Each structure stands twice: as C-alpha cells, then as structure tokens.
C-alpha cells in the first residue's frame, strides 16, 4: 500500500507456532491484550469462527468518544498469518498483518500495521503528535500482556 503510515513490532515467544496462532485466532483474547483505557468490547457474538471473510464488530473509546469498528479477516493462512482489515472505523485505512514464524524452539510473532490517519493535509501532523504515540502505547501494553500469557521475559522483543 502506497503512502501509508506503518507500525511494525515483533516478539519472540517460547511456544510452538500452532499454540501462538491458536491464542491470536481466538477473538476473546483480543480483549485481554487491549489496554483498559480503550474500553474495548467485542460486539459480534462469541465465539467467532475465524476464517477468510469473517467480520468482527467492536466498540472502543478514543479520546473520550465511543467508536464503532468493523474488521474483516481478508487473509487467513493458519498457522502462518492472517490479516484483519478495517471496513468501518477511525482510520482512513487499517490493515494489520499478523505473522507467525518458528524460530529457536519458539515463535516470532510479527505485527505489521499499515494505516492512514484521517485529517486530510493535516494527517501527517495528527499522526506524529497523536496517533503514532497512542499506537505505540497500545502495542507496548499488548506486548506485556502477551509475554505474561506465554510466561516469557520482557527481553524477548525487538522492533
């Protein structure tokens, strides 16, 4: 995708790829690794059968405003990767690729988020001052929660 903003994170987890993928394919776990200050809630009835074409509805709070967010699983390649793409929500574009690779007896999990911040000509300014720092905080919270889930140490991260 051209002219998009990019967030990339990776983490090594001491677990088999199938187990890590299983954790991330369960939408209920998304609530557990999302910061409480977002007041995140899955609206779609649980459990959700994850596959290509699955739609998931969420609610969350951004800057005190209730936001409806709908994503679609646009790529589904278990246990290697999946992509959730925003259909409706706060971004002009959001495509989150989750990749899982076997490495050193565990799994490298990589997040690659390509996104476009709303705001027209001000969007680079809005991204730099508000959106990117908030995404960094969200993904740092997520990293800590995932490490706890897999009983790994905080040194298991790069990017």
Is the dihedral angle over the CA atoms 57, 17, 32, 111 positive or is it negative? negative
Tokens of 92: 């002009």
Segment (H or E) for 148: helix 132-149
pTM listed for this prediction: 0.91
Residue 159 is predicted with a pLDDT of 45
Q: What would the pLDDT profile of 86-100 be if each residue is shown by its tens digit?
A: 999 999 999 999 999
Residue 3 is predicted with a pLDDT of 79
Q: Count CA atoms within 13 Å of residue 16 on its CB side.
A: 4
C-alpha–C-alpha distance, residues 107 and 20, integer Å:
7
Residues of the chain short of pLDDT 50, as ranges, are 158-159
Residue 62 is predicted with a pLDDT of 86
C-alpha–C-alpha distance, residues 28 and 98, integer Å:
16
C-alpha–C-alpha distance, residues 15 and 107, integer Å:
6
Provide the CATH topology of domain 5-158: Alpha-D-Glucose-1,6-Bisphosphate; Chain A, domain 4 (3.30.530)
Residue 39 is predicted with a pLDDT of 96
């Amino acid at each position: 995708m051209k002219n998009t903003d990019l967030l990339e994170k990776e983490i090594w987890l001491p677990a088999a790829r199938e187990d890590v993928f299983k954790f991330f394919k369960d939408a209920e776990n998304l609530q557990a690794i999302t910061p409480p200050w977002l007041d995140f809630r899955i609206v779609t009835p649980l459990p959700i059968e994850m596959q290509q074409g699955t739609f998931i509805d969420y609610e969350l709070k951004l800057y005190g405003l209730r936001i409806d967010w709908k994503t679609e699983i646009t790529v589904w390649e278990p246990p290697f990767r999946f992509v959730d793409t925003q259909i409706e929500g706060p971004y002009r574009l959001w495509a989150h690729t989750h990749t899982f690779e076997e490495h050193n007896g565990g799994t490298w999990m990589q997040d690659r988020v390509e996104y476009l911040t709303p705001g027209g000509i001000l969007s680079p300014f809005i991204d730099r001052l508000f959106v990117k720092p908030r995404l960094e905080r969200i993904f740092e919270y997520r990293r800590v929660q995932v490490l706890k889930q897999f009983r790994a140490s905080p040194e298991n991260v790069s990017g």
